[in-house]
Amino acid sequence: MPIRILLEIADMERDGSPEVVFYHYGDNPTEMMDYDYALFASSSQANDRYDLLSEEVIDSDGDGDIDNHDKRLYLQLADAFVQFRGLKSTR
């Protein structure tokens, strides 16, 4: 089964500190809005170090339980993804 996650950098709370949004898709999405669920990571210190998640995470590492390791995976992905903020479309 493929894993489809769309990541977005957006200032959802309009506080000048962007959140990283994770949109999880099922097997057969036909539109961008066909995601199964979404959550977002935010930085409590507004310093691009993500430490808060909006929702409970899923078993993202596939080990059969939901724990702090699953949460850390999302936060690490947010920390890495925000580094791409400077990319601009060339199309």
Yes or no: say if 23 and 38 are a contact pair by the CB < 8 Å rule: yes
Secondary structure letter of residue 91 according to DSSP: -
DSSP assignment of 14-76: SSSS-EEEEEEE-S---STT-EEEEEEEE-TTSSS---EESS----TT-SSS--HHHHHHHHH
The answer to whether residue 36 is domain-embedded is yes
Show Cβ contacts of residue 85 under 8 Å, excluding neighbours closer than 6 positions. Answer: 9, 18
The answer to whether residue 37 is domain-embedded is yes
The answer to whether residue 54 is domain-embedded is yes
Q: What is the extent of the structural domain holding 24?
A: 4-86
The answer to whether residue 53 is domain-embedded is yes
This prediction's pTM: 0.82
In the chain, how many domains are there? 1
| 91 residues of the chain, pLDDT tens digit each | 678 899 999 888 898 889 999 998 988 878 888 888 899 999 999 888 999 998 778 888 889 888 889 899 999 999 999 888 776 656 5
16-30: buried (b, 16+ CB within 10 Å) or exposed (e) per residue? ebbbbbbbbbeeeee
